[in-house]
A and B are shown apart, each in its own frame.
Chain A
Amino acid sequence: MSKLGAKSIQRRGWWLAHRWLALRRFSQLSILLLFLLGPWAGIHLIKGNLSSSLLFDTIPMTDPMLFLQMLAAGFWGVTGAAITGATIILVFYMLVGGRVFCSWVCPVNLVTDFAFWLRRKLDFKGGLVFPRATRYWLLGMVMLVAAVTGTLAYELINPVSLLHRGLFFGMGAGWILIIGLLMFDLAVSKRGWCSHLCPMGAFYALVSPFSLIRVHADTRSACDDCGECFVVCPEPQILPPVLKGENNGIPPIVLDGTCTNCGRCIDICHVGIFEFGLRSRKILSDETAKPHHPVNQSPI
């Protein structure tokens, strides 16, 4: 068996085989850099962190899940920009795909992707497998705990906000938790945190149903069953129906809300089956000159 992705590099060149991964890393790092400009260089383009922030001193942004926790905890008297901020973020992710947050923004993704990479390098196999629905249960639990304690209790341990906040405001002993998370994903459970447990991921998966940007697999009949997309996909359970569902009338679009729009499948597929598109229409094409199949009807 050849090295993962080698066929794609060979056939489509390094850039096309890494394009979305590179852009994603660029997005993740430049968002971190944007926030870091304040504390490091005194350039305050954006203030705050992923929980709540203020862009150019005018545009408020607030994590909608945090906002919901606040309501669950019984704080209804918001007198600041949080309502506008949460709406802006919610609408944005509803349009681009909720879990775009997970793969393009969230700093923990850098940690868990590294754990996944290391896991493959070290050939660690097996481990705990959590039901993927666990995260929805955890999301419910987060809201319940907020309601019962009357505080944002989950924020005491939320590794996502902890890492992002820590980078700008001091990590303290927080590295222990982040290294623990790395170890967990590396040795205990494959893609355990981001793909099975994280309640934020669950929340963003739930706001995905209307997202406009989706992965298409219009040329799925060309699939040669190499299985590489299945290896790299953080939510591989969503791929088989899309790739093999032609006879069951399943449209060749990844409509599942858990898809993070990371685009790794697009990179890795040496046949070039996958591409980003609108819900009903292609907008980005891997190989621009390639003749298109007739546009598929999407459910919406």
Chain B
Amino acid sequence: MSHTEPDTTDTKKPTSQSRRRFLSDMAKTACSVSLVGLAIGVHSKSANSLPAAAIRPPGALPEKEFLSACTRCGICVQDCPWDILKLAAPGDDVALGTPYFTARDAPCEMCEDIPCIPNCPTGALNHALTDINEARMGLAVLIDQETCIAFHGLRCEICFNVCPIRGEAISLDYRHDERSGKHAKFIPIVHSDACTGCGLCERACIMEEASIRVLPIKLAKGQLGQHYRLGWEQKEGAGGSLVTPDVPHQYNLPEGVRYDLQGEGLIMEENEKNSPFSSNPLDTLNQGFLKGGDK
């Protein structure tokens, strides 16, 4: 470390002894100060880490940039009409003085005018964010499918219902309930292209410990390798296979019948009258049931 500070040499011509004394004093100060700087630097490594449960206000710059831009003034905290934001105090495990909220206790209510942003003096909360639905504070993740009662086939859907952009950020997927054999499970599915990470679902979750939680996007999202391409997307984009041309699969089917999955399975050619099969292939399959099978 090097320092370029104004030195405080007096104007009198120094004797060699006083010069040596002065230089050694300065070296001592430099060393001690460097030590303090080192300690602060090391401390900042751990003190600047953000626990997953602490969520930044809407529009917050990426964390690293945020930590260089946020003045820790708390104007966003005072401007929040719902009083959800806190400035980290010593002892909280969030970078000292920076704003955050905890979704389980008090989630972002997604005000349309985003009052926490405009008075931010530095743009640590990005002034360009004017549509709260564009905010990406984090991402809701249905993190525990073992406990979520929807996976037990029980009706809950509260996360789906409280979502401020209902139906977009969380949708319900109907799945067969194999336990009862005759019911559907209403499975909440989070869509990262719409979820703002407000945390209303996490607060609303009826579990003692929330099964759906807002996590930092980096923690919540996987990412495909940069080099990886999905063949069918490439094929569609290019209008045809980019590698070996498609060879039509050969099925050993009776004459007048062909198989095409996209065309929904077995297809009878129109002009074939003397087919051994009914025109609806399912008839053949259903025969077992019609004959009074005991299932």
Which A residues contact B (CB, under 8 angstroms)?
38-39, 44, 47-49, 51-54, 60, 62-63, 66, 70, 73-75, 77-82, 85, 131-134, 136-142, 144-146, 148-157, 161-162, 165-166, 168-174, 176-177
Contact = CB atoms under 8 A, between A and B. Distances in A.
A54 B71 CA distance: 13
Given A53-B75, A172-B91, A75 B68 contact: yes
Given A141-B34, A144-B3, A173-B91, A157 B40 contact: yes
B72 A145 contact: no
Contacts of B95: 151, 156
Contacts of B97: 51, 155, 161-162, 165, 169
Contacts of A49: 72-74
Interface stretch (B114-122, B154-162, B233-241, B272-280): B114-122
Interface string B117-149: 001111100111000000000000000000000
Given A82-B71, A145-B37, A62 B121 contact: yes
B41 A140 contact: no
A177 B69 contact: no
B75 A47 contact: yes
A131 B36 CA distance: 15
Interface stretch (B42-50, B196-204, B285-293): B42-50
Given A137-B5, A141-B36, A165 B91 contact: no
Interface centre among B29, B33, B68, B92 (most CB of A within 10 A): B68
B120 to A, nearest CB: 5
15 contacts: A47-B74, A48-B78, A70-B71, A73-B67, A73-B68, A74-B68, A78-B122, A141-B3, A141-B34, A152-B67, A152-B70, A155-B96, A172-B92, A174-B90, A177-B90
Contacts of B37: 141-142, 144-145
B225 interface: no
Contacts of A73: 67-68
Given A134-B33, A166-B89, 19 more contacts: A38-B78, A47-B78, A48-B74, A52-B71, A53-B75, A54-B119, A134-B29, A137-B29, A139-B5, A140-B3, A141-B36, A145-B40, A151-B64, A151-B67, A153-B40, A153-B44, A156-B44, A166-B90, A173-B91
Contact of B65 (A75, A133, A168, A173): A75
A198 B139 CA distance: 41
A170 B92 CA distance: 11
A39 B67 CA distance: 25
Contacts of A141: 1, 3, 33-34, 36-37, 40
Contacts of B47: 156
Contacts of B16: none
B87 A80 contact: no
Contact of A77 (B25, B67, B73, B123): B123
Give me the 10 closest cross-chain CB pairs, A-B, nearest first: A172-B89, A79-B123, A52-B73, A173-B91, A73-B68, A48-B73, A153-B44, A151-B67, A141-B37, A75-B68
Contacts of A62: 71, 73, 121-122
B153 to A, nearest CB: 44
B77 A133 contact: no
Interface centre among B5, B64, B65, B86 (most CB of A within 10 A): B5
A176 B75 contact: no
A138 B87 CA distance: 26
A169 B74 contact: yes
Contacts of B6: 136
Nearest to B128: A79
Contact of A63 (B3, B44, B71, B87): B71
Contacts of B34: 141
Given A144-B37, A156-B40, A70 B121 contact: no
B168 interface: no
Contacts of A161: 72, 97
Interface string B247-288: 000000000000000000000000000000000000000000
